[in-house]
Structure 1
Amino acid sequence: MKTIAAILAAAGVAAVSLVATETTASAACRADYACMYSASNYTGLKREDFNSRTNWGQITYNGSSIALYRGDGSQLNVSSMENRDPNSYIAVYYNSGYRGACFRIRPNGSVPNFQTIPLSIGGDANDRMNSHQFNPTNCTGTIYG
């Protein structure tokens, strides 16, 4: 199993970014926020977000310059997620702009491993998803968490 440090080194990312984000990832996900992680079981790099995001390729993990989505299959893409909003479902979409295959995470729910989420287009959600939306209006995908 590759370590995050090895993956970052292969990607040419300075270790300083890793130190800043590993500390953040160990902190609990705050109430009312969505937290996305680069590894399963809520580990690795972390992004804590209060808003819906149309394109994960345009936002980065806390304290780093590493985007949440770097192309299908990147080991640094989101692999687990927590929804700490007690009142809202969160939809996670395959494409930017809240489009394509999707699944939902129930209020105060979480998905420890996107690899366990099958997509309607085939394959699983691990390292492939690209946007999320609180209170989704167009996702009828399976509810998890």
Structure 2
Amino acid sequence: MRKIASVLAAVGVAGVSLVASQGVANAACRADYACLYSAANYTGLKREDFNSRPNWGQITYNGSSISLYRGDGSQQNVSSMQNRDANSYIAVYYNSNYAGPCFRIRPNGSVPNFQTIPLSIGGDANDRMNSHKFNPTNCQTGTIYG
């Protein structure tokens, strides 16, 4: 009986550490970084990034094997974002390679729910965006949020 309790306790501890390693958003977004979250209001899985990324499908949330983009409408796609760079706008694009409909987040700004961002092609940005770029040159007509 003790052996079973020990095994269960070990499994319980392993389960807790797995949850922690899945990139759950629990720490503040650091200065000069972009933080991307899988759920609204800066919750869920988190990716803290210092660079522009041309394809979210090729990068994962911190401590996870889950891609930031898994196809339109995936519940694990990015749904909120913080821009903690005091000097740069960040553009968020519908397509990879910084293409398609976009919107910008002002320096030290944030968007708590991509579902509130309308896209020029119809619908909203929630769970559909696929790349981001610091100091964009090709998203000058995109609406600024944050």
TM-score tier, shorter chain, comes to 0.7 to 0.9
State the secondary structure of the residue aligned to 2:76: coil
Normalising by structure 2, report the TM-score.
Answer: 0.86
Q: Distance in 1 between matches of 2:18 and 2:67?
A: 12
1:100 is displaced (CA, Å) by 0.0
Aligned residue for 2:52? 52
Aligned residue for 2:68? 68
Q: Please tell me whether residue 141 in structure 1 is matched to residue 135 in structure 2.
A: no
Query: What is the root-mean-square deviation in Å for CA atoms of aligned residues?
Result: 1.4
State the secondary structure of the residue aligned to 1:41: coil
1:130 is displaced (CA, Å) by 0.1
1:15 is displaced (CA, Å) by 7.8
Q: Please tell me whether residue 19 in structure 1 is matched to residue 20 in structure 2.
A: yes
1:24-103 correspondence to structure 2 within 5 Å: 25-103=25-103
Larger radius of gyration: 2
Q: Please tell me whether residue 106 in structure 1 is matched to residue 77 in structure 2.
A: no
Q: Deviations over 1:60-119 (max 9, x none)?
A: 000000000000000000000000000000000000000000000000000000000000
Q: How many residues align?
A: 131
Distance 1:126 1:56, change over 3 A: same
State the secondary structure of the residue aligned to 1:57: helix
Distance 1:52 1:137, change over 3 A: same
Runs in 1 of length 4+ with deviation above 6 angstroms?
none
Q: Decide whether the 8 Å contact of 2:60 with 2:67 is kept in 1.
A: yes
Normalising by structure 1, report the TM-score.
Answer: 0.87
Which residue identity lines up with residue 144 of structure 2 in the other structure? I
Distance 1:17 1:52, change over 3 A: farther
Identity of aligned residues (%): 83
Structure 2 stretches lacking a partner, 5+ long: 1-14
Distance 1:16 1:71, change over 3 A: farther
Q: Deviations over 1:32-80 (max 9, x none)?
A: 0000000000000000000000000000000000000000000000000
Q: Decide whether the 8 Å contact of 1:93 with 1:131 is kept in 2.
A: yes
